[in-house]
Chain A
């Protein structure tokens, strides 16, 4: 498909475990974003990648959260030592770097920490 693909769509884990969430953006999109959507909390910015520039990590809530983007394409968001408050839907979006800004969102990865 041509859209943003995220996996897994659902992840249930135990408190203290590490999880990895994957995002495959639209081919050719140089900008990639991760957001967290908690119930009633809107979209919380986590991290932003633009081409080969250093990522903007200003939204990561703690050092348990990290993300990387390999080869300017696929991105992985890693949460270490998960806590119950990490339960949320994690959304990935990509954008054509030349455009003013339409984001194309994936369906999200729903994380539940027991």
Chain B
């Protein structure tokens, strides 16, 4: 069974500071991993994804995430936060099976302090 745990339902950082949003997953088989973002009053959109190959993946708006199999983690980072990064971020996992559901974490709300 697959599951996703996002540590911290709310993270607040200062503008220009490092953003780190944590995600740990559980999967019995190698996973596909995703981060989605939901800006206020907007639908969810893909931020980045890990499928195979390079474990450090880059997404939109300067975000990146690193797949660490030994730690079963897929933490999201951005070196310097911008006010426009304020949003809800969701980590998601799907197994390699072609017919498998995608499970989301409970989300982390990111706030940016001026």
Give me the interface of A with B, judged by CB distance under 8 Å.
33, 35, 40-43, 45, 48, 50, 53, 56, 58-59, 91, 93, 97, 100-103, 105-108
A-B contact number at CB 8 A = 56
How many chain B residues touch A (Cβ–Cβ < 8 Å)? 22
Known interface pairs A100-B32, A101-B34; A107-B43 also in contact (CB < 8 Å):
yes
List 9 interface pairs A-B (beta carbons < 8 Å), by A numbering.
A33-B102, A43-B104, A48-B102, A53-B99, A91-B43, A100-B32, A100-B49, A103-B102, A107-B43
Query: How distant is the Cα of A41 from the Cα of B90 in the complex, in angstroms?
Result: 11
* Chain B interface residues (CB < 8 Å from chain A): 6, 9, 32, 34, 36, 43-46, 49, 51, 90, 94, 98-99, 101-107
CB of A43 within 8 A of CB of B90, answer: yes
Complex-state Cα separation, A21 to B44, whole angstroms: 19
